[in-house]
Amino acid sequence: MKKFTKILALTLVAVMLVCTFASCAKKLSGDYEGEVNFVIGKASVTYSFSGSKVTVTSKTTVLGNVNTTTYEGTYEIAENDDGTMEITLTIENGDDNVKSGTYTLEEGEDYIKIAGIQYNKVEK
């Protein structure tokens, strides 16, 4: 019985440590949108963050024709030794425009920059 109690106590300590470190991970929340206008239309990308999940919606409008594609996946944020941040996206159904990878990340008060491209916080 004493051995069982010791194992249970060690297991609980391990679970608490894992939960503590998991809660310290940097997370984003909400929607961020970037838009580019060009002569015959516009293109926008919206990142929707919730927990460790991300939904990326790409919308292009050319001469009135609208094409919307949605991608889903997960993300992780890491801080480098020099203080810069990186975001790793794991997109389940990505293509050449939206794909998995690790990119630079900068976070401002009402925006983020992924790979140098600014996405502004969408207020609901």
- The Cβ of residue 47 has, within 10 Å, a number of other Cβ atoms equal to 22
Residues in contact with 80: Cβ distance below 8 Å, sequence separation at least 6, in sequence order: 86
Domains of the chain: 30-121 (2.40.128)
pTM over 0.95: no
Q: How far apart are CA 94 and CA 107, in angstroms?
A: 24
Torsions phi, psi for 81 (to 5 deg): -60, -30
Cα(31)–Cα(64) distance, rounded to whole angstroms? 25
Residue-wise pLDDT for 9-59, tens only, equals 445 444 454 444 444 568 999 999 999 898 899 999 999 999 999 999 999
Residue of 74, 79, 72, 70 whose CA lies nearest to 52? 74
